Structure 1
Amino acid sequence: MQHWLVKSEPFKYSWEKFNKEGRTFWDGVRNYQARNNLREMKEGDLVLFYHSNEGKEVVGIAKVVKEAYQDPTTSDPNWVVVDLSPVETLKTPVTLEAIKADEQLKDVGLVRQGRLSVMGLKREEFDRILELGSR
């Protein structure tokens, strides 16, 4: 199993809306590295859901329920989506500030490549963020 982090601006697609809908396809990715990460996702992989711009915090855990397929919002074959379903809301959101301050997370993609919307996480990074979110 691999671990991931996806970002969404809450005013565009919030964790709350995601939970109400119960499933979504992750579209709008127009960065090649982020797209390649979507292509690497496998059914059952766990994904942290991060509110970007407003809040700047990890708020929940989702899982991949359908692997990469053509993005239905464009006819351009370069772009793909995956289907995600919510799993759990974190007890305490984990802020970007807390992530940056944590020595174990100093190399996490969220810090190193802040603009990337879909990124891989090491198992230890994923687990550490969950630990911070359980407080």
Structure 2
Amino acid sequence: MNYWLMKSEPDEASILDLQRSGTLPWTGVRNYQARNFMRDDMRLGDGVLFYHSSCPEPGIAGLAEVCSAAYPDATQFDPANHYFDPKSKREAPRWVHVDVRWRETTRLLSLKEMREAPELASMRVLEKGSRLSITPVTPAEWQAVLKRLHAA
């Protein structure tokens, strides 16, 4: 099993939106490295730290899991969509996505709290200049996050 941190702006798709719907397609990824993680490395059942970004208090807001293999992201073909890519062709799609399933809405583990936790210092989301919307998480980082999220 692999673990991932996946960022979403809460006004576009929040952990509460995922909780209400049960599953969501992770559309709109337009970075090749993040796309490659979905296409080449994600597997059914992989754990996901659902991270709220570009908001007043960014951080991990819940847990999810990957519940589909990667498949073409339809938003790339829709001229009315913000994520439209005129260079992508249906016969050779450039962008893919996976579906994620809600597992738990947690307290917010803020970016500030993450930065202060020595056991999380190696997380890629905390690297200076890191802007990827999807990053791998090690098993040790996953366990350390779970411990912090579920601390009394």
TM-score band, normalised by shorter chain: over 0.9
1:93 and 2:108 are equivalent in the alignment? yes
Moved over 4 A (4+): none
Displacement of 1:114: 2.9
Matched, 1:67 2:82: no
* Alpha-carbon shift at residue 74 of structure 1 (Å): 1.5
> Could you say what the CA RMSD is over the residues aligned between the two structures, in angstroms?
1.1
Task: Measure the CA separation in 2 of the matches of 1:43 and 1:58.
Answer: 21
Q: Which residue is 1:84 aligned to?
A: 100
Letter in 1 for 2:43: K
In structure 1, what is the equivalent of residue 46 of structure 2? 45
- Name the SS of the counterpart of 2:148 in structure 1: helix
Name which of 52, 57, 60 aligns with 1:58: 60
Greater fraction strand:
1
Larger of the two Rg values belongs to structure: 2
SS at match of 2:44: coil
Task: State the identity as a percent.
Answer: 37
Taking structure 1 as the reference length, what is the TM-score of the superposition? 0.94
1:109 partner amino acid: R
Q: Deviations over 1:65-93 (max 9, x none)?
A: 10111111114212100011101112x21
Structure 2: state its 5+ residue gaps. Answer: 78-87
AA matched with 2:63: I
Amino acid at match of 2:49: L
Out of 109, 132, 138, the position equivalent to 1:116 is 132
**Total equivalences in the alignment:** 134
